[in-house]
């Protein structure tokens, strides 16, 4: 077998929102890898640039003229060297010259080509000889904020987490039932509800945050009793999308209120206590490390997760750790550009006892690689939706991996 790269091809494809994105094929003498880049609706300001000036078309030309000539002949199993070369070719601090999505697609397709050359699954190739534990699925059942159009809750995502499932299949079935029950309750209680769904397949409804939480709490109670699972609720507040930097207030357009950072802290604390929340993502804007730290200290039994706060960046994570801001981090490899950079963020998170959560993006493809990264990086939670084609592809891949592990399959442990 040989992992020597013989050919690199880049093309334009579309994600689940119909947006253009880049896909890269890498062939070695013994294997093949393909990867496409996702896109977020709400992006952290510190994320790498998705593409160079000129978008996907310009990125494809960069691959053909600047990247492929230097990578062909290298070995695909030289992951760190390849990722380092991508940084060197770009030469900027945020991949603005070649594009973070370009780097991501090349980095991941290289890893896939290498694993294929060796004839092993990607998670085993990246994770090595460890005792793999399957992540629990954190699923979006109701959308608001930037994930919605028209009248909807101001909070971006209302999530469910089946924390005591005995298998991933059982957990996935639980989330599907939760999603179904939320839709049924909306049909009964919300007359304007028409069955609309967001990009991630979550329901859309003209209700406020409290109405959404009451409805999801009822659904969780009913489904937990029906299936014998313990369901906990989570939120992605997407605080940066609510924050007005001029007035220094969080603007809740649906509820027609504006709150100060101090009032925002009290509001999130109230929601955590009243609804026994297991997970709160980005409750404040992306530079408010101080209130993240206060909330984390005061919220026992709840993961306070940073997405826009950290953007899978070890420098920002280091800053957060120093201030004890959050106790969990979202891992989105295309936020930082390469697998090596994402792995470094996971490593630092684990060392600081921060819970890493591998996540999809709202604008995603049917690629399933983040499921393999969740196992290889030993992440106890994967945020990958409940329904919709790009989400189901990832859920089904984890079911296949669970079958592949056979008697060795174990569910991860969540620090709740």
Residues with a catalytic annotation lie at 200, 332
Edge-first strand listing for the sheet containing 249-252: 243-244, 249-252, 257-259
Token duo for residue 224: 């937990």
Token duo for residue 14: 């579309």
Identify the CA nearest to 102 among candidates 192, 10, 171. Answer: 10
Q: What is the dihedral of CA 12, 392, 200, 237, to 10 degrees?
A: -120
Collapse the DSSP code of 405 into the 3-class scheme (helix H, G, I; strand E, B; otherwise coil) and give the result. helix
Taking the C-alpha atoms of residue 401 and residue 416, their distance in angstroms, rounded to an integer, is 25
**HEC secondary structure over 192-231:** CCCCCECCCCCECCCCCHHHHHHHHHHHHHHHHHHHCCCE
Residue pair 245/142 in contact by the 8 Å Cβ criterion: no
Alpha-carbon Rg for the chain, nearest whole angstrom, is 21
Classify each residue of 316-338 as buried b or exposed e, where b means 16 or more C-beta atoms within 10 Å of its C-beta: bbeebbeeebbbbbbbbbbbbbb
- 248 CB contacts (<8 Å, ≥6 apart)? 260, 261
Identify the CA nearest to 349 among candidates 334, 368, 329. Answer: 329
Taking the C-alpha atoms of residue 70 and residue 77, their distance in angstroms, rounded to an integer, is 15
Taking the C-alpha atoms of residue 351 and residue 2, their distance in angstroms, rounded to an integer, is 35
- One DSSP character per residue, 341-404 reads HHHHHHHHHHHTTPEEEEE--SB--S--HHHHHHHHTT-SEEE--SSSHHHHHHHHHHHHHHHH
- 93 CB contacts (<8 Å, ≥6 apart)? none
Identify the CA nearest to 17 among candidates 334, 359, 360, 362. Answer: 362
Residue pair 339/108 in contact by the 8 Å Cβ criterion: yes
């Amino acid at each position: 077998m040989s992992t020597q790269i013989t050919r690199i091809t880049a093309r334009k494809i579309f994600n689940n929102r119909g947006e253009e994105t880049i896909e890269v094929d890498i062939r070695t003498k013994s294997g093949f890898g393909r990867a496409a880049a996702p896109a977020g609706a709400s992006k952290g300001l510190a994320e790498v640039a998705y593409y160079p000036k000129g978008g996907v078309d310009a990125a494809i030309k960069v691959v053909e003229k600047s990247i492929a000539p230097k990578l062909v002949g290298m070995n695909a199993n030289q992951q760190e060297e390849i990722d380092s070369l991508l940084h060197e070719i770009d030469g900027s601090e945020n991949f603005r010259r070649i594009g973070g999505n370009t780097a991501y697609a090349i980095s991941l397709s290289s890893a896939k080509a290498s694993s294929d050359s060796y004839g092993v699954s990607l998670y085993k190739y990246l994770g090595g000889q460890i005792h793999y534990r399957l992540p629990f699925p954190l699923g979006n059942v109701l959308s608001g904020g930037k994930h919605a159009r028209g009248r909807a809750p101001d909070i971006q995502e209302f999530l469910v987490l089946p924390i005591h499932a005995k298998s991933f299949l059982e957990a996935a079935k639980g989330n599907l039932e939760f999603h179904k029950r939320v839709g049924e309750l909306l049909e009964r209680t919300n007359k304007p509800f028409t069955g609309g769904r967001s990009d991630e397949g979550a329901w859309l409804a003209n209700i406020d945050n409290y109405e959404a939480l009451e409805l999801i709490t009822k659904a969780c109670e009913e489904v937990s009793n029906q299936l014998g699972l313990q369901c906990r609720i989570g939120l992605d507040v997407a605080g940066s999308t609510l924050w007005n930097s001029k007035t220094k207030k969080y603007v809740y357009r649906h509820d027609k209120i504006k709150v100060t950072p101090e009032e925002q802290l009290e509001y999130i604390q109230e929601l955590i206590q009243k609804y026994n929340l297991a997970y709160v993502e980005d409750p404040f804007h992306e530079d408010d490390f101080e209130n993240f730290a206060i909330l984390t200290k005061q919220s026992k039994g709840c993961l306070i997760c940073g997405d826009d706060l950290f953007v899978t960046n070890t420098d920002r994570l280091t800053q957060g750790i120093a201030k004890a801001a959050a106790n969990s981090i979202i891992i989105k490899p295309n936020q930082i550009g390469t697998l090596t950079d994402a792995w470094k963020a996971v490593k630092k998170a684990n060392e600081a006892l921060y819970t890493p959560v591998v996540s999809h993006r709202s604008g995603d493809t049917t690629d399933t690689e983040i499921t393999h990264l969740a196992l290889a990086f030993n992440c106890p939670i994967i945020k990958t939706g409940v329904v919709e084609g790009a989400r189901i592809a990832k859920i089904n891949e984890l079911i296949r991996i669970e079958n592949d592990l056979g008697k060795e399959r174990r569910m991860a442990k969540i620090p709740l």
